[in-house]
């Protein structure tokens, strides 16, 4: 499984959108219905799954799936 698909499968656990239907412009809160707590829990799940450390300031700037994927890409290089 690609990193992107693994990422989208995690996102899918938090919302009612299937990984295949996710678009990069989708916003976590407005389009996928994440609450603040959902989003923060999700970031914790990303840290555990991909063994990365997210800086709080940076993490709070993530708005869309594309933002999160880019951040993940930078951290896992």
Task: Name which of 4 and 38 has its Cβ closer to other proteins.
Answer: 38
Residue 27's SS3 state is strand
| Binding mask of the shown chain, residues 6 to 45, with x at each position contacting other proteins by CB under 8 A | -------xx--------------x-----xxxxxxxxxx-
- Binding residues with other proteins: total (CB under 8 A): 19
Contact indicator for 47, 29 with CB cutoff of 8 Å: no
Residue 15's SS3 state is coil
Q: Within 40-59, which residues bind other proteins (CB under 8 A)?
A: 40-44, 47-48, 53, 56, 59
Structure tokens at 37: 């707590």
**Rounded to the nearest 10 degrees, how much is the dihedral formed by the CA atoms of 31, 10, 22, 14?**
-30
Binding site for other proteins (CB under 8 A): 13-14, 29, 35-44, 47-48, 53, 56, 59-60
């Amino acid at each position: 499984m690609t990193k992107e698909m693994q990422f989208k499968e995690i996102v899918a656990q938090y919302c009612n959108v299937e990984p295949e239907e996710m678009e990069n412009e989708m916003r976590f809160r407005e389009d996928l219905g994440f609450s603040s707590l959902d989003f923060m829990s999700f970031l914790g799940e990303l840290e555990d799954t991909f063994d990365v450390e997210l800086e709080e300031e940076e993490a709070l700037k993530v708005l869309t799936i594309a933002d999160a994927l880019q951040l993940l890409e930078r951290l896992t290089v």
